[in-house]
Amino acid sequence: MQRFAFAGRTCLITGAASGIGAALALNLAKRRAVLALLDRDADGLARVAELAREVGAADVSTYVVDLADGGDRLDLAAEVAARHGGVDLLVNNAGVALSGTFEQVSMADFDWLLEINLHAVIRTTKAFLPQLLSRPGSHVVAISSLFGLIAPPSQVAYATSKFGVRGFTEALRHELAGREVGVTVVHPGGIRTNIAANARLSGVDPGGEQAARARAFAEAALRMPPEEAARLIVAAIQARKPRLVITRAAKAADLLARLMPARYWEIASRAAGARGVH
């Protein structure tokens, strides 16, 4: 399959109002892509769209959608097709976080996270797949996580969703092999976005010690600017890479989990304690 060329191609990005999604939108705008941007944050979406126009996007449309609503996205697909003729690149980026042990987390919060992080990826891909199949050389991207490679405590819901994204995307890639649709799963680790700061704390006292530890851990781990993550993702799409792991720490954790699948967390926790990270 040929390298993906962005100029004039229609790229749909979910979660485009901030973080990696916004950085991707601006990166692709500089490459003269046509952008269809989706988020529930109307004000943030409008700001990113305006910036994208200023830096060179061939065209920009915005769609204010709450992915937690469980819709099938068929109306959205029809609306995007009517405006742009179809989609060449689908980036499933939107996601939320939820902290708390499985015992603490309510089923309502667990379901809320799964709807946004996993089911919305499936629904959106299903709705846009006919368009992608009709446009040879198209591409699908799903943002999983470091926690789609390893599964730490107090992240049961999040890891469940991101392992699900990983499995869905890998199986989809195998199904679409030979049909001129590329598929990439991305596992970022430690990207400086608002996802941790905006995480729900289910069954956890927001002012308590457990919440404080979770926030401190996130602040220490989130180091890479989203613009750098976007650059790496764009390069992976262009090269049609099937898999991208971002940050040195994520690559190390991935290797450790492969080498010691039953003991990696014990070893990682011991190493973190030795470095003074709790």
What is the residue whose two structure tokens read 């789609």? 148
Residue 273 has pLDDT above 60, yes or no: no
Query: 61-70, 192-201, 226-235, 258-267 — which is least confidently predicted?
Result: 192-201
Q: Give the pLDDT score at 238.
A: 98
Query: What are the sequence ranges of the domains in the chain?
Result: 10-248
HSE of 149, CA atoms in CB hemisphere, 13 A: 26
CB 179 within 8 A of CB 133: yes
CA distance 12 to 38: 7
Domain 10-248 superfamily per CATH: NAD(P)-binding Rossmann-like Domain (3.40.50.720)
Query: Residues 52-90: pLDDT tens digits?
Result: 999 999 999 999 999 999 999 999 999 999 999 999 999
CA distance 127 to 123: 6
**What would the mean pLDDT of 136-159 be, rounded to a whole number?**
95
Reported residue count of the chain is 278
What one-character-per-residue DSSP string does 160-227 give?
Answer: HHHHHHHHHHHHHHHHHTTTTEEEEEEEE-SB-SSTTTT-EETTS-TTSHHHHHHHHHHHHH--B-HH
Set 6, 128, 158, 168: catalytic member: 158
For this structure, is 63 an active site residue? no
**What would the mean pLDDT of 195-218 be, rounded to a whole number?**
54
Report phi then psi at 277, rounded to 5: -100, 125
CA distance 63 to 78: 12
